[in-house]
Amino acid sequence: MAFTEKLLTVPPPIEVAGRHIKRYHVTADPSGIAPEVQDAAHAVLPTLLPEPDGTPPATFVVLHRGGDDGAYLNVYSWVWDNVLHFRGAAAGQPVLGCPDRDPTHFVPVGRPWIGCVWELPPIQHERDAWVRHLLAPDTPDLDAYLVDSLPEGTTGDRA
159 pLDDT above the threshold of 80: no
CA–CA distances in Å: residue 38 to residues 24, 69, 141: 11, 14, 28
54 pLDDT above the threshold of 90: yes
**Percent of the chain scored above 90 by pLDDT?**
91
- Going by C-alpha positions, the residue among 156, 159, 131, 157 that lies closest to residue 144 is 131
- The bridge status of strand 71-79 relative to strand 19-27 is unpaired
1 pLDDT above the threshold of 80: no
Contact 142, 133 (CB under 8 A): yes
* Local structure of 83: helix, strand or coil: strand
Q: Tell me the CA end-to-end span of the chain in Å, nearest whole number.
A: 24
Looking at residue 62, its pLDDT comes to 98
